[in-house]
Amino acid sequence: MHPVLKLVVQRIALGLLLLLAVSAVIFLGVEALPGDTAQAILGQSATPVALENLRAEMGLDRPPLERYLSWLGGVLTGDLGTALSNKADIAQSISTRLGNTLFLAAAAAVIAVPLAILLGLVAARYVGGWPDKLISGVTLTTISLPEFVAAYFVIFLLTQVFPIFQPVSMVLPGMGFWGKLQAIALPVIVLVMVVLAHMMRMTRAAILNVMQSAYVETAELKGLSPMQVVWRHALPNAVAPVVSVVMLNLAYLVVGVVVVEVVFSYNALGKYLVDHVTKRDLPVVQAVGLIFAAVYIFLNVAADIIAIVANPRLRHPK
């Protein structure tokens, strides 16, 4: 087997194993909470008999391992159970919201990733000069603002001072693609501000690290222009560290944007999770937790695989 293929298969297998372990941790974590689902439904004043009956009805009296396996079996067949609060099918509730989450994350990523890498390259090219200082200053300022402050600032600026957008990002089923894009413009701007600095700094650092190497001096002595040196000789060797930070930020865009969703009343996964945590709706918390974990693991495995494939020593063994 080609060594690259072997490594890739290994990484994927490890990712799946990790996901299984995380599912057990999530299940145990929810199990360890005081009270159970029956208690959550019936409330503090429930009689012991009523609790017993409900537990028997929901199968909660079975041993934990059996319940874990049946939950896992359900997850694998696409059945995430029903929410306690409204008896809705969780898989169905999640699917539209997951779509919204991914749409917002993708829109932010499409702008933020190329922009961050470009700014990182420019900063590295003019290291110590004013473009470097300007880019670093601006991105560090935006990352230093808490998300809700940035969000309200953007709302104030773009709906009050310059009334261009709507302050609320309602995405309705019948909306067209452009309509949806317009609706999420403000949260996208805020998210780009938040994730830009991290990726930009990493690109800059990785490029500067590579710029120390002898082959970059060779490129300079070939009479290539500074941007050619950075683009052709430095960037291909800085892929691995840049990709891993990009993936971490993509993961953040999917699972970490609760505050932004709440501020803009954007109906997505994070808001759904927070709503159901307050209602003690444990099956939903479990299901969303697992999805978030899966996204994290998937993106990190993807980063590993890209780093493996980008390494010529692995791709072309001796």
Partner 1 sequence: MADALLSFKNLKIEATAYPPGERPRHVVLVDGVTVSVQKGKVLGLIGESGAGKSTIGLSAMAFGRGGVRLTGGEIVLNGRDIRTADAGALRSLRGRDVTYVAQSAAASFNPAKKLMEQVIETSVSHGVMTKAEAEARAVSLFRQLSLPNPETIGERYPHQVSGGQLQRVMTAMALCPKPDLVIFDEPTTALDVTTQIDVLAAIKRAIHETGVAALYITHDLAVVAQVADDILVLRHGKMVEYSSTDQIINAPREPYTQALVSVRSIDHAEKAPAPPVLSVQNVTARYKGTSFDVLKNVNVDVAPGQTLAIVGESGSGKSTLARAITGLLPPSAGRIQFAGRTLSADLSGRSKDDLRELQMIYQMADVAMNPRQTVGTIIGRPLEFYFGLTGEAKRLRIQELLDQIEMGAGFADRYPAELSGGQKQRVCIARALAAKPKLIICDEVTSALDPLVADGILKLLLDLQAHENVAYLFITHDLATVRAIADKIAVMFKGQVVRYGQKTDVLSPPFDDYTDLLLSSVPEMELGWLEKVIQTRKMESAGN
DSSP 34-71: SS-HHHHHH-TT--HHHHHHHHHHHTTTS-HHHHHHHH
Question: Does residue number 228 form part of the binding site for partner 1 (CB under 8 A)?
Answer: yes
Question: Does residue number 312 form part of the binding site for partner 1 (CB under 8 A)?
Answer: yes
**Rounded Cα–Cα distance for residues 21 and 73 (Å):** 15
The residue with tokens 């004043």 is 45
Is 154 or 219 the residue whose CB approaches partner 1 more closely?
219
Is 87 or 313 the residue whose CB approaches partner 1 more closely?
313
CA-CA-CA-CA dihedral for 233, 239, 241, 242, to nearest 10: 100
Question: Does residue number 10 form part of the binding site for partner 1 (CB under 8 A)?
Answer: no
Options 225, 227, 265, 277; binder of partner 1; rule CB under 8 A? 225
Binding region for partner 1 (CB under 8 A) out of 61-69, 118-126, 135-143, 218-226: 218-226
Number of residues lying near partner 1 (CB under 8 A)? 22
Is 26 or 122 the residue whose CB approaches partner 1 more closely?
122
Question: Does residue number 141 form part of the binding site for partner 1 (CB under 8 A)?
Answer: no
Options 233, 254, 261, 303; binder of partner 1; rule CB under 8 A? 233
What's the closest the beta carbon of residue 220 comes to partner 1, in angstroms?
7
Residue pair 294/255 in contact (Cβ under 8 Å)? The answer is no
3-state secondary structure of 89: strand
DSSP 196-226: HHHHHHHHHHHHHHHHTSHHHHHHHHTT--H
How many other C-beta atoms are found inside a 10 Å radius of the C-beta of residue 101? 26
Question: Does residue number 1 form part of the binding site for partner 1 (CB under 8 A)?
Answer: no
Is 76 or 221 the residue whose CB approaches partner 1 more closely?
221
Residues that bind partner 1 in the complex, under the rule CB under 8 A: 213-215, 217-225, 228, 232-233, 236-237, 310, 312-313, 316, 318
